[in-house]
Amino acid sequence: MHPPLSLYVHVPWCIRKCPYCDFNSHETHDLQALIDPYLDALLLDWAEERQRLDRFGGTRPLQSIFIGGGTPSLLPPDFYARLLERINQAMPLSEATEITLEANPGAVDAAHFKGYRGAGINRISIGVQSFAAEQLTALGRVHSGRQALDAIDAVAAAGFERFNIDLMFGLPQQTAEGAEADLKQALQCGASHLSWYQLTLEPNTHFFSHPPPLPEDDDIADIQLAGQALLADAGLQQYEVSAYARTGEAARHNRNYWEFGDYLAIGAGAHGKLSAPAAGEFLRYRKTRQPESYLKRAHGQQGLIATSAAGFVAAEEAITKESLPFEFMLNALRLTDGVAQSLFTERTGLELGLLEPQLSQLRQAGLMRADGDRLQTTALGARFLNDVVGKFSD
């Protein structure tokens, strides 16, 4: 049996590069000229992905599609209507297929949300990060708190029953009161899913080379504990390291990542994973990162060519049998409730007994639960998750 299958679509452009962002995003001031060429490239890339899938069991239903960036909401609804139509022709989508689009409140209008819904997108992830003006300025965001609230209202008015709000904490000079105010505002907006994560200074970002004044570690820990309690009281349960949701509202696309499912990938810099556990085949790959290079692979000097001879893959790597336990646990143990023990064998083709030395040690140390039939950390293990996962790389 093959793992569930998802699709990730990457849109690499944004209005302005945020100083904390290490994603594959690039400023552009001529997006209109890129829309049709990029769609053409995505469709060629999609054709290649279907051929690649033939090596790993052939066509399977897509349980989810996630359109991330960059700023996908810079592109018009018709772009996604045409893309999803072609995807549906090859791999029919159903009402159960979760299709998420990331939106920046400063790069979308109310009419676009209605268009996105009409195109088949059924879930929106709104990159708010904070509602406070001083924090938005410090983070280099292009929207205001008012624009964020208006965007959330527009999402609801467009008929989206499911939406996520992205928020960050541990922001420059942020107080516990400020972080709490952001959470309360998101709850007042009716969010049924929150991605609430700590600002970290990643290499190759402006903040990494020019660090802003961040709260002390103890203060950040206090903010996190207080925020988790506030969200729990409001009925949003933490189901992953940085994800909180009401019952039934967990992101199916992200759960597929964490449960070591498969995912196709199209777009500049997109990452994919395919597997055939019974045959012991596991492949990770990534597409050409720079948008200009990605487009050149699909467009010749005389215009669009029928096929991309060079392909869009920049690199691929087989996941070895030795590294599978670490790869699996790196994802699965992010889930608060962990996963069924049987999923390890189902998704890796390996016997659970291979992990017994590490599991026994971690259970004795109180870092993993010893009861039941799940692979799951304790509360203490969740605090030291990197150390727990590291045990499986030995």
Q: Which CATH number do you get for residue 339? A: 1.10.10.10
Last residue of a domain, one of 239, 258, 277: 258
For residues 292, 33, 265 and 49, what is the CA-based torsion angle, rounded to 10 degrees? -90
Last residue of a domain, one of 203, 231, 258: 258
93 and 179 belong to one structural domain: yes
Query: In this structure, what DSSP letter does residue 193 have?
Result: E
3-state secondary structure 62-89: EEEEEEEECCHHHCCHHHHHHHHHHHHH
**Pair of tokens at residue 221:** 């820990």
Are 165 and 73 members of one domain?
yes
Q: Return the structure tokens found at 312.
A: 């869009």
Report yes or no on 293 lying in a domain.
no
The CATH number given to whatever domain includes residue 166 is: 3.20.20.70
pLDDT per residue rounded down to tens, the chain (394 residues) = 789 999 999 999 999 999 999 999 999 888 999 999 999 999 999 999 999 999 898 889 999 999 999 999 999 999 999 999 999 999 999 999 999 999 999 888 888 999 999 999 999 999 999 999 999 999 999 999 999 999 999 999 999 999 999 999 999 999 999 999 999 999 999 989 999 999 999 999 999 999 999 999 999 999 999 999 999 999 999 999 999 999 999 999 999 999 999 999 999 999 999 999 999 999 999 999 999 999 999 875 334 444 444 589 999 999 999 999 999 999 999 999 999 999 999 999 999 999 999 999 999 999 999 988 999 999 999 999 999 999 999 6
What distance in Å separates the CA atoms of residue 39 and residue 61, rounded to the nearest whole number? 22
Residue 214 lies in a domain: yes
Residue 75 has a pLDDT of 96
Domain assignment present for residue 181? The answer is: yes
d(CA 259, CA 13): 29
- Domain, as residue range, for 348: 324-393
Q: Work out how many domains the chain is built from and give that number.
A: 2
The answer to whether residue 351 is domain-embedded is: yes
On whether residue 282 sits in a domain, the answer given is no
Residue 285 lies in a domain: no
Identify whether residues 81 and 207 lie together within a single domain: yes
Mark whether 220 and 349 lie in a shared domain: no
User: What is the three-class DSSP state of 102?
Assistant: strand
Would residue 277 count as lying in a domain? no
Residue among 335, 318, 330, 343 nearest 369 (CA): 335
pLDDT score of 304: 45
Q: Are 232 and 360 contained in the same domain? A: no
